[in-house]
Amino acid sequence: MSAATRPRIGVLALQGDVREHVHALHAAGAEAVPVRRQAELDEVDAIVIPGGESTTMSKLLGIFDLHDPLVARLRDGMPAYGSCAGMIMLASTILDTRPDARHLDALDITVRRNAFGRQVESFETDLDFAGITDRPGAQRMRAVFIRAPWVESVSPDVEVLARVPEGPAQGRIVAVRQNKVLATSFHPEVTGDRRVHEYFVEMVRR
């Protein structure tokens, strides 16, 4: 794929913020398509796993026979981005989840599900994001957390991109990258700030 092409990026369309991610990817310079079947997965260069409910998403991956094909594509090096529940799905270890929940094991991290609390404890904050807000003249990023996980620990192969800057959760890891896999605890698809999606689209182009 040349840098001039519009990469074809799938958004896992079983549950969650599918339309918001499709819109954000289009605005970031990609061709974005929903993915519900293996044939659709086979046609994309990368995948976004949206926010939603991770245990429901886990069940639906089985019902739609997508779990094993998705794991295989990720192991073969397909780029992926997960927001909120998508971060949980991509993690290798998940705390506070159902014992029968399946995940994709694409990031060598331990995440704690619903770490920031219930829906009523959702919040917004401004944070720094390595590779985005550290560019000359860049503004901090507004991050929206909705029943979000946080990252408890990472392996040496994982780059920490953002942490909560202040408050009771100060220092908690909320964005990571490992090779071609990116994940955030927060929902950039709902803010109108397309920089995380642009960052991911550039990852796919490379």
Active site residue 187: yes
146 is in an annotated binding site: yes
Token digits of residue 152: 């408890």
Rounded CA gap, 172 and 149, in Å? 10
Rounded CA gap, 10 and 30, in Å? 10
Task: Report residue 154 CA to chain centroid gap.
Answer: 16
52 is in an annotated binding site: yes
121 is in an annotated binding site: no
109 is in an annotated binding site: no
Active site residue 84: yes
Strand segments, DSSP code E, in the chain are 8-12, 31-35, 46-49, 80-83, 91-95, 107-112, 123-127, 141-145, 150-154, 159-163, 173-178, 181-184
Question: Distances in Å between the alpha carbon of 39 and those of 90, 121, 139?
Answer: 21, 39, 40
Catalytic residue among 84, 121, 152, 197: 84
Catalytic residue among 21, 67, 103, 189: 189
Burial (CB count <10 Å: 0-12, 13-18, 19+), residue 168: exposed
Rg (C-alpha) for the chain, rounded Å, is 16
147 is in an annotated binding site: yes
Token digits of residue 190: 């709902």
Catalytic residue among 21, 67, 103, 187: 187
Binding site residue list for L-glutamine: 52-54, 113, 146-147
Binding site residue list: 52-54, 113, 146-147
* Catalytic residue annotation: 84, 187, 189
